[in-house]
Amino acid sequence: MPATAHSLDFELPNVAAGPETVSPASLDADFLLLLLQRDYYCKVCRRQVQSVKRRYDEFEARDTTVVSVLPDPPERAQKWQQSYDLPFPLLADPGAEVGDEFDQPTRFGALGKLHDMVGRMPEAVLVDLRDDDPDVVYTHRGSSPGDRPELDDLLKRIDKLAA
Q: Which tens digit of pLDDT belongs to each residue from 30-42?
A: 999 999 998 888 8
- For residue 108, the model assigns a pLDDT of 46
Position 4 pLDDT exceeds 70: no
What average pLDDT does this structure show over 98-123?
62
Q: Which residues pair with 21 in a beta bridge?
A: 13
What's the mean per-residue pLDDT of the chain?
85
- For residue 51, the model assigns a pLDDT of 96
Position 61 pLDDT exceeds 70: yes
CA 92 – CA 95 distance, rounded (Å): 9
Position 156 pLDDT exceeds 50: yes
Q: Specify the higher pLDDT residue, 96 or 77.
A: 77
What average pLDDT does this structure show over 141-157?
86
The CA radius of gyration of the chain, in Å to the nearest whole number, is 14
> Which residues, in sequence order, are CB contacts of 34 under 8 Å at separation 6+?
24, 67, 69, 98, 102, 124, 125, 126, 127
Q: How confident is the model at residue 106 (pLDDT cuts 50, 70, 90)?
A: low
- For residue 137, the model assigns a pLDDT of 92
Q: Is 91 helix (H, G, I), strand (E, B) or coil?
A: strand
Q: Specify the higher pLDDT residue, 46 or 102.
A: 46
The answer to whether residues 122 and 148 touch, using CB atoms and an 8 Å cutoff, is: yes
Q: Is 57 helix (H, G, I), strand (E, B) or coil?
A: helix
Q: How confident is the model at residue 119 (pLDDT cuts 50, 70, 90)?
A: low
Question: Is the CATH number of domain 5-162 3.40.30.10?
Answer: yes
What average pLDDT does this structure show over 23-30?
90
Lowest-confidence segment of 4-18, 68-82, 111-125, 130-144 by average pLDDT: 111-125
The answer to whether residues 32 and 158 touch, using CB atoms and an 8 Å cutoff, is: no
- For residue 6, the model assigns a pLDDT of 52
